[in-house]
Amino acid sequence: QVQLVESGGGLAQPGGSLRLSCVANGLLLDYYDMGWFRQAPGKEREGVSCIDATDGSIYSHDSVKGRFTISRDVAANTVYLQLASLKPEDTAVYYCAARSKWRGTTVQAMCVETSDHWWGQGTQVTVSS
């Protein structure tokens, strides 16, 4: 059974930092692109940053480039999102996602599309002074 378990969300001040973790149970990161999505109230779920299963290449949304960093520990089946220089507009529920590499799509496609993904339960990130 596949389970993606996020943790690390919470309250941060503008300009602050958080580190999110996603433990992937039931799959191997060698074969699944991984990513982080977020959804604010009343808004569509959007891709934040994703990492390719094959070579670790990264795609990030323009709104977070230079501020958020995705990384992975393949041996630990864990993917991370380091959030820095946080802004109030970063407030959202952050979801870990996985997509099998058999689909042959790019990491960018994985991060733009929202279908055919495994999803975690989400972790709340709130940025407020």
State pLDDT tens for residues 3-15: 999 999 999 999 9
| pLDDT one-digit tens code per residue, 28-84 | 999 999 999 999 999 999 999 999 999 999 999 999 999 999 999 999 999 999 999
Q: Which two tokens mark 73? A: 């520990």
Decide: helix, strand or coil at residue 121: coil
The beta strand positions in 57-112, using DSSP E, are: 58-60, 68-73, 78-83, 92-100
